[in-house]
Amino acid sequence: MVRPHRAVVLLLPPVIGFDATIPPQILGSATDQDGKDLYEVRMASLDGAPVPTRSGYSITPDGDTSLLATAQTVIVPGTRYHPRYAGTLTEPLAAAFDRIRPSARIVSICTGAFVLGATGLLDGRRATTHWGYADDFRRLYPRVDLDETVLFVDEGRILTSAGLAAGIDLCLHLIRRDHGAAAANRVAKYNVVPSWRDGGQAQFIERPVPHGEQSGTGAARDWALAHLDRQLDVARFAAEARMSLRTFNRRFREETGYSPGAWLIEQRVNQARNLLETTDLPVDEVAVRSGLGSGATLRQRLHAAVGLSPSDYRRRFRAAAS
DNA sequence: CCGAGATCCCGCCAAG
DNA sequence: AACTTGGCGGGATCTC
């Protein structure tokens, strides 16, 4: 890589400070094998002046919208700027977007999607935003195919992510797309975040706060976690919760956002990753102890999760764990 | 990577 | 009437 990919964050007042700092932190910690930066992240505001955040403090940008003309990726973090309520661009915002190169990738985090919506870039495309503002979004932008159950949507040149921390998932996705899973995994590990979160944001919508511990599938999940090494199908899982299969499936999805089978696979892969990182057990034995059955299944699952074979995974992460 | 057989899982809908 | 349950069908996904 000759020069780092140039990403510019467009700060619109009042910006969500957390969103705004995700790209410099996540993209900014991506490096190649030789430790060279893969991304160069710059902050821009409409006029180059500091931008107040929703939390009171201000962010001093690197410059004004002339920076946008240099961007290979433009990122719009969450904001309560004009389009969030009006669904339209302001004069300076329209001018700012005019400076973006036609080839540049355009990305939003959280309510930044409202800004992209106002440009018309999302019309006829799939997109997402913070689940709490999905209704507002649909009202302002009926031509956009909004899906508030996912963490992010990749439409090629245009990408949108769900609320707040989903911006981390999207930035990891960008790294994965640009430089492969290994580079993204290094960044995730360094930042101490999961390199891939499954299940979308649906799990946060249905029951934002878990209620009534006793009525649900939680006890069965605890039981399953303690017995991952056993062969355990969904029917037995449901029996543990004393529910019919149909009801168990339904309740499980409501409470976790996962189907029981997908949740089991996720837990099993996690267990296998732990065993790979902390033991020298043969791959087939790791597969058995994590309930994945055979090495072939483990290989397939691990590759889907992190893009690495078991031995590659162990090589890459064993040292860090010991 | 394939392909047969197993398993999953979600819309549908009748029955509490 | 509104809501929950759970059997069924069969396309999707998974396992080996």
User: Tens-digit pLDDT profile for chain A (322 aa)?
Assistant: 568 999 999 999 999 999 999 999 999 999 887 788 999 999 999 999 999 999 999 999 999 999 999 999 999 999 999 899 999 999 999 999 999 999 999 999 999 999 999 999 999 888 999 988 988 999 999 999 888 877 888 888 999 999 999 999 999 989 877 876 667 778 888 888 876 665 455 545 544 334 444 457 888 888 888 888 887 889 888 988 889 999 999 988 887 778 899 889 888 888 888 888 778 888 888 998 899 888 899 998 888 887 788 888 888 766 544 4
Residue nearest to nucleotide C6 (CA to C1'): A246
Rg of chain A taking only CA atoms, in angstroms = 22
Predicted pLDDT of residue A276: 84
Q: CA geometry: angle at A29 spanning A28 and A32, to 5°?
A: 105
CA closest to C14 C1', residue: A297
* Strand B contact with A233 (CB < 7 A): yes
Count CB neighbours of A77 within 10 A: 29
Q: Is the CB of A257 under 7 A from strand B?
A: no
Q: Tell me whether strands A158-161 and A105-108 are parallel, antiparallel or unpaired.
A: parallel
Nucleotide nearest to A237 (CA to C1'): B8
Tell me the nt nearest to A297, Cα to C1': C15
A:274-293 Cβ neighbours of strand C under 7 Å: 292-293
Strand C within 7 A of A242 CB: no
Residues 300-319, chain A: which have Cβ under 7 A from strand C? 300-301
pLDDT for position A184: 79
Give the integer Cα–Cα distance in Å for A61 and A49. 7
Q: For tokens 């892969």, name the residue.
A: A269
Whether A321 sits with its Cβ under 7 A from any strand C atom: the answer reads no
Which amino acid type is present at position A249?
Answer: N
Task: Give the integer Cα–Cα distance in Å for A7 and A74.
Answer: 6
This prediction's pTM: 0.64
Which chain A residues in 250-269 sit with Cβ < 7 A of strand C? 250-251, 261-262, 265
Through-space separation of residue A115 CA and nucleotide C4 C1' in angstroms: 41
How confident is the model at residue A63, as a pLDDT?
95
CA–C1' span, A66 to C16, in Å? 57
Query: Does at least one atom of strand C sit less than 7 Å from the CB of A121?
Result: no
Q: On chain C, which bases lie within 7 A of the protein's CB atoms? A: 5-8, 14-16
Distance A250 CA to C8 C1' (A): 15
Type of residue at A100: I
Distance A138 CA to C8 C1' (A): 36
For A292 and C13, how far is CA from C1' in angstroms? 16
Asked if residue A244 keeps its beta carbon closer than 7 A to nucleic acid strand C, the reply is yes
Closest of A131, A78, A82, A134 to residue A107, by C-alpha: A78
- Judge whether residue A245 contacts strand C, using its CB and a 7 Å cut-off: yes
Which residue, A23, A5, A8, A38, is CA-closest to A100?
A8
| Other Cβ atoms closer than 10 A to A306 | 23
Q: Is A171 exposed, middle or buried (0-12, 13-18, 19+ CB in 10 A)?
A: buried
Q: What is the pLDDT of residue A102?
A: 93
